[in-house]
Structure 1
Amino acid sequence: MKYDEFITHVQSVAQLNTREEAERATRATLEIIRERIVGDEAKDLAAQLPEELAECLRGREGETGQAFSMQEFISRVSQKEGVEPTAAAMHVRSVFAVLEDAVTPGEFADLYSNFSDDYAELFPMPPTSEVPS
């Protein structure tokens, strides 16, 4: 998925008024994902995204992710994006939904596996490899 397409989708799903808001929401979410997940996993995710977004995920290769709750994740995105936490939560959900379409199912399942169960409401639905049979 190309950068413009990714941002357009985030703007549409999150019902944001401007492209700049969608870019801010996307970058804030990706930068907090980088803090939360294992650095090598962030690198793998970055490899499947346009360069403008991939740069938000780089810089922690070889490091472990920080363990923090979904509420802390939303709080960090909220602060970085400069919006209220309720808006940030909606934006994170939107970015995750677009990410699911932008990367391979296996990569999205890998991303999902880096988050604890309390994050489930931020994801569109568990990747099929994570659904119990």
Structure 2
Amino acid sequence: MPVAYLSRTEHFSAAHRLNTPKLSEEENKTLYGKCNHRHGHGHNYKVEVIVKGQIDPVTGMVLNITELKECMKSAIIDLMDHKNLDVDVQYFHDKPSTAENIAVFIWDNMQRILPKGELHEIRLHETDNNVVLYRGE
């Protein structure tokens, strides 16, 4: 059976502050620069979820794109859109809300609810120039 990679893209807006309690205030300022501003800042994120799987000979699909859309809404959009990640998302209460950690958070959530196929990659665009790829490693 042929294998294909299915990708869906969604967008969400969220605020955060790059800061870690493991460093002093001065160390945080030096490390994170303007992204450590005490009132935070926001991004319009673009997230791509890529699923790998065999193409079903009956349906012709790896996964129904509607199911993938619903999973992304539940695992990503409902939890992070128009939220302050550091305040509203428990996962970031003890770790910095870097794009890398956000990608891991999305991966973990998608892994738990993906009905079919194998999660292959999360591609998180924090800006047009800054992108994180995460494959569960």
TM-score, length basis structure 2: 0.29
Q: Which has the higher contact order (CA 8 A, sep 6+)?
A: 2
Question: Which structure has more strand as a fraction of its residues?
Answer: 2
Question: Which structure has more helix as a fraction of its residues?
Answer: 1
Q: Which has the larger radius of gyration?
A: 2
TM-score, length basis structure 1: 0.30
